[in-house]
């Protein structure tokens, strides 16, 4: 009854409007890139949700892991001087 082969998954990125970034929408199963694009169109853009589509083999995605969240991102934590709010301006100066 079943098929021995499970089609691989492809991650789908959609661009909503001209000038907007491509954002992750979800994934589709497809045997190849060409059908992945067609499936992505049918699944994620039936109502003009996209004007451009990317499909990427899921296995090509490299992701950070939730367990490492603390140490991985902490180089940013102690650099408050990256924020403009870190700096005090003399009284009376309004626009800087």
Partner 1 sequence: MDQVQSSQQLAELEAEFDRKIASGHVIEPKDWMPERYRKQLLRMMSQHAHSEVVGMLPEGNWLTRAPSLMRKAVLLAKIQDEAGHGLYIYSGAETLGTSRVEMNDQLLAGKAKYSSIFNYPSLNWADMGAIGWLVDGAAIVNQTVLAKCSYGPYARAMVRICKEENFHNKQGYQILARMMQGTPAQREMAQDSMNRWWWPSLMMFGPSDKDSPNSADLMKWKVKLHSNDDLRQRFIDRVVPQAEAIGLRIPDDKLKWNPTTRHYEFGEINWDEFNQVISGNGPCNRLRIKQRRDAHENGRWVREAAMAYAAKQNKRTKAA
Residue with tokens 């499936």: 39
Q: Which is nearer to partner 1, 21 or 92 (CB)?
A: 21
Three-class HEC string of 17-46: CCCCCEEEEEEEECCCHHHHHHHHHHHHCC
Q: Which is nearer to partner 1, 68 or 89 (CB)?
A: 68
Give, as ranges, the residues between 21 and 50 that touch partner 1 (CB under 8 A). Answer: 26-29, 31-32, 35, 42-43, 46-47
> What phi and psi, each to the nearest 5 degrees, are found at residue 11?
-80, 140
- Applying CB under 8 A, the residues found at the interface with partner 1 are 1-3, 5-7, 9, 26-29, 31-32, 35, 42-43, 46-47, 63, 65-66
């Amino acid at each position: 009854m079943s098929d021995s082969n499970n089609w691989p998954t492809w991650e789908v990125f959609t661009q909503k409007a001209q000038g907007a970034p491509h954002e992750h929408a979800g994934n589709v199963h497809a045997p190849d890139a060409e059908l992945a694009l067609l499936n992505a169109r049918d699944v994620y853009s039936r109502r003009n949700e996209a004007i451009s589509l990317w499909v990427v083999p899921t296995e090509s995605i490299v992701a950070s892991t939730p367990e490492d969240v603390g140490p991985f991102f902490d180089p940013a934590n102690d650099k408050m001087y990256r924020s403009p709010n870190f700096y005090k301006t003399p009284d009376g100066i309004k626009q800087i």
